[in-house]
Structure formats: C-alpha cells, structure tokens
Structure 1
Amino acid sequence: MTCLTAAQAYAASSDDEMSPSDRRAAVHTQLAGEYLKRGQYNVAVSEVKEALAANSRYAAAYGMLGLIYSELHDEGQAVANFQQALNYSPDDSDINNNYGWYLCNHAKPQEGILHYMVALRNPLYANADKTLVNAGQCAASANDEKNAKEYFTRALRYRPDSVAARQELVELGLRTKDYVLARQNYNELQKMVQPSSQLTWMGLRLEHALGNTEVENRLASQLKTQYPDSIETTRLLSGQLN
C-alpha cells in the first residue's frame, strides 16, 4: 500500500492563495516529509513543530506527524495525530488516504477503506488511482475478493496504464482461479513494462496454474538463466509456486 507523504496541501495551492503563516507551515511540512523519507525522524518532527508554530491548526502537519509516528511504531501518537488532522480538514484526500493506509496496515480494513472512499469524493483528486489500488489491496487482505476486483478495475478507469492495478488483478486472478482475468491483465502488463524477474515469475505461475508445462518450463529456465540471484528464482528453486 502507498502513503502519499509528498502530497500536501501546499502542492495544491498557489502562493497567492495562502497566508504567510500557512506558507511557512506548508514549507516546513514538506521538509518534514523529505526527512521522513530519509529516516531522519527527529528532524522530521522538528520541522512539523515549526509548521505548527506557524499555524497550530495546519491539518497537513498533523497528518505528517501521523506518518512519522507510524514509522516509529507509536500507534497512540499516530492515531491521535491522524484524527487531529481530520478534525481540522475532514475531507482532505491525502490525509484520508494516509489514515486509510495506516488503518489497513493495522488490521482495520473496513475503517481504512471508509477513509479511502472519503479521499475519492474530491473529483479533482490527483491520486485517485493509487488510492483505489490501496483500497483493493486492503480488501484483498481481508479476503474480500469481490470488492478488491472492483477497486482495481476502477483504478484502471482513472489510469489505464496503471502497472500496479494490472499486477494486482493478475495476482487476484491467480488467487481466485479466475485465469481469464489473470491472463488478460498479464498480457497487458507485457505491453507496458520491460521484462523482469517479477514479470517472468508472474507468467510462470500463470502457466503452471493453467497446466501449460512446456511454457512453464521455458519461463523457469529463463528465470534461472537471466535472473539467477533474484528473489523469484529463490522461490522457484524452493518450490513456492502457489
């Protein structure tokens, strides 16, 4: 699943639309996101404090704190800050996506998906396809294959070239034995991405499920020859086909 640490209110607003205090808060929040990516958590927290000193009600800053404390495995602080962010900006798509991501990663799929759906209410939301992939992954983790398929398919309506949605539909097809779904999306993936160990492994498992031994063996040989040190080759040699 994907949290959108770089997608902040500042990116969606022009400088002319923001007060000086909001502009400072947005800049410090963006800096916090960069430090978070680098694993510099103390500096990231300091930047958020600077943001809140500029504007104590700046929702994106609290959302950033939620992400930081999530990385630090401090569940109480993560939840408190996500909820504070939503108190100030309940319809913010990025904050709802990130809180949904957090909830789904903490075994609360129904609550998480509700926040994903709130994120999608904004018709101008730029990351709708990613949020729908997140929702599909969350539903799949809860064994809700029907809704997972719907979310992945909806993601493709927003972005037909979404590699993530295609990959998830292949995996879902393999999992549910819907090999028509798996084949269709695997064929599309082959047109969209360069050959890789992951793509070869996906095709190998599909051919194995379909009983196409000749093609399966060819792909197995290709995997071992071209990607001998890959995780996928290790899985193949360990017999982890299913």
Structure 2
Amino acid sequence: MLNENAKYDPKSAAESNTELGINYMRQGRYAVALDKLNKALEQDSKNPMAHTAMALLNEHLGKKTEVEPHYKKALSLEPDNSATHNNYAAFLCSQGRMAEAETHFQTALANPLYKTPELAYTNAGLCAVRFNKRNKAMDYFRKALQHNPNIARALYQMAELYEEQGAFTEAQAYYRRYIAIASQTPQSLWLGVRIARALNDKDAEASYALQLKSRYPEANETYQLKQSEQIYY
C-alpha cells in the first residue's frame, strides 16, 4: 500500500531515473534510456551522473553537438570525478582534439582515489595511437597493464605496436597474453599470422591462417592474408 503522506523527493526520483536510463542504455534500448534521462534532468538538473549518462547516450546516438555540454555540466558539478574526465577525454580525442583530451586524461589520473586508472591509461594510449604518437602510446599501455595485467585492448595494442617496430619476440609475448583472455577477431588472427611468420613459427602461422580463413572468409584481413601468401610463398 502506498504511503499517501510520503513527500515527493525530486532528487531521489532523478537518481532512480538515472539508474534506469543507464541500465536501458546498457541493454541497447536507447529510446527508453533517453526518456528516463530526460526525466531525471527535469527532476534534478544538477545531477552530475544524469549529465554524464546523457553525454554517453548522445555519443551512441551520433548527436555530437549535444555531447560536450553535458560533460561540461557534469564536471562543473563534480570536478573531481575521474571517470567523467576519462569519458570526456575519449570523446575529445574522437573529435581530433588531442591536447584537450590529454588534459582531461591527466586530471583523471591525478586523482589518488580513482579506482580504475587502467581505463584512463588505456584510453589515453588509444588516443596517442590515433595521432601517431607510438612511444607515448606504449608508455600509457604499460602503465595500464601495471594496474591491471588483463586489459585486453592494452595487450593487443602492445603486440601490434611491437610488431610494427619489428620487435617480434616482444610482440609474441604480448599477443599470447592477449589471446589467453580474449576472443580472436579477424584483426587479431591476422596479427598472429604476421608475428608467427616473422618468427618462422610455421605451426602457429598455419593455425591462425586456418582460423582466419574458416571463421572470417569475407573479412578484409582474410583478403590480405591470401594476397600475402601469393607473395610470401
């Protein structure tokens, strides 16, 4: 039975709708998520989590001009939230604004209470790769793996960056760590082929090549593999 004397608390209602919005967004139910987050902001326009969630949702929906105002509002309300700084930095990087992104990554990482710095280090590394800052990227990925040795994206990127440099033994070490915890993709199988080929590991090369051809026959990486076989053999 409802308590008719209970007072309506808009802040509490906003928190509930924010939580619902985030859960719907995770399920891919973006229209419902948008409705819940709009309600949350109507109930409490100073809820930083609602603004952050709305920024992320607008990114998913491709509404680029509506992303940044929500990040800025969230950070004005909660300037020490490292997760928000990390998310905002990743968005800025996607928009080609590396210097601004770097500032927010560093702000996130400067917070000693940040529970998952490996996420910011990984995103900062991906941003550096995007702008062809290979050495800086590797430094970020190493730091991410120091905090959490099982960050698949960081392991993969380290394997790929070492392979690009011709440091195939190091590339293989990171690659093996990657495939131990992550599912193979066309990109990772093609990387495995290249590393194994460089190290003259015929068994591994044949295994990765067979998986790539059988599991992903239409992938661009499979085409690259077939083209390379015509030249290599």
**Structure-1-length-normalised TM-score:** 0.77
Where does residue 140 of structure 1 map in the other structure? 129
Give the partner amino acid of 1:223: Q
- 1:73 and 2:78 are equivalent in the alignment: no
Q: CA deviation at 1:43?
A: 2.6
Gaps (5+ residues) in structure 1?
Answer: 1-19
Superposed CA deviations along residues 16-58 of structure 1, whole A, max 9, x for unmatched, are xxxx654432221122123333444443232122222332211
Superposed CA deviations along residues 170-224 of structure 1, whole A, max 9, x for unmatched, are 011123333343122123335x33773555432211133x262735752455335
Where does residue 116 of structure 1 map in the other structure? 105
Where relative contact order (Cα < 8 A, 6+ residues apart) is larger, the structure is 1
Give the counterpart of 1:32 among 21, 42, 51. 21
Judged with a 3 Å threshold, the aligned counterparts in structure 2 of structure 1 residues 177 and 110 are, in CA distance, closer, same or farther, namely farther
CA contact (8 A) 1:227 1:233 kept: no
CA distance in 1, matches of 2:40, 2:185: 43
Q: Secondary structure in 1 aligned to 2:110?
A: coil
CA contact (8 A) 2:17 2:39 kept: yes
Where does residue 204 of structure 1 map in the other structure? 193
Query: Which residues of 2 match residues 1-242 of structure 1 at below 5 A?
Result: 21-190=10-179, 192-193=180-181, 196-198=184-186, 199-208=188-197, 210=198, 212=200, 214-215=202-203, 217-219=205-207, 221-223=209-211, 226-227=214-215, 229=217, 231=219, 232-239=221-228
**Structure-2-length-normalised TM-score:** 0.80
Where does residue 4 of structure 1 map in the other structure? none
Give the partner amino acid of 2:115: A
CA distance in 1, matches of 2:218, 2:112: 41
CA distance in 2, matches of 1:25, 1:234: 51
Give the partner amino acid of 2:215: Y
Q: Secondary structure in 2 aligned to 1:107?
A: coil
CA distance in 2, matches of 1:196, 1:68: 28
Residues matched between the structures, number: 220
CA contact (8 A) 1:59 1:88 kept: yes
Q: CA deviation at 1:225?
A: 6.2
Superposed CA deviations along residues 119-138 of structure 1, whole A, max 9, x for unmatched, are 22333323321221111000
Judged with a 3 Å threshold, the aligned counterparts in structure 2 of structure 1 residues 150 and 217 are, in CA distance, closer, same or farther, namely closer
Gaps (5+ residues) in structure 2?
Answer: 1-8
CA distance in 1, matches of 2:36, 2:118: 30
CA distance in 2, matches of 1:23, 1:79: 25
Q: CA deviation at 1:239?
A: 4.3
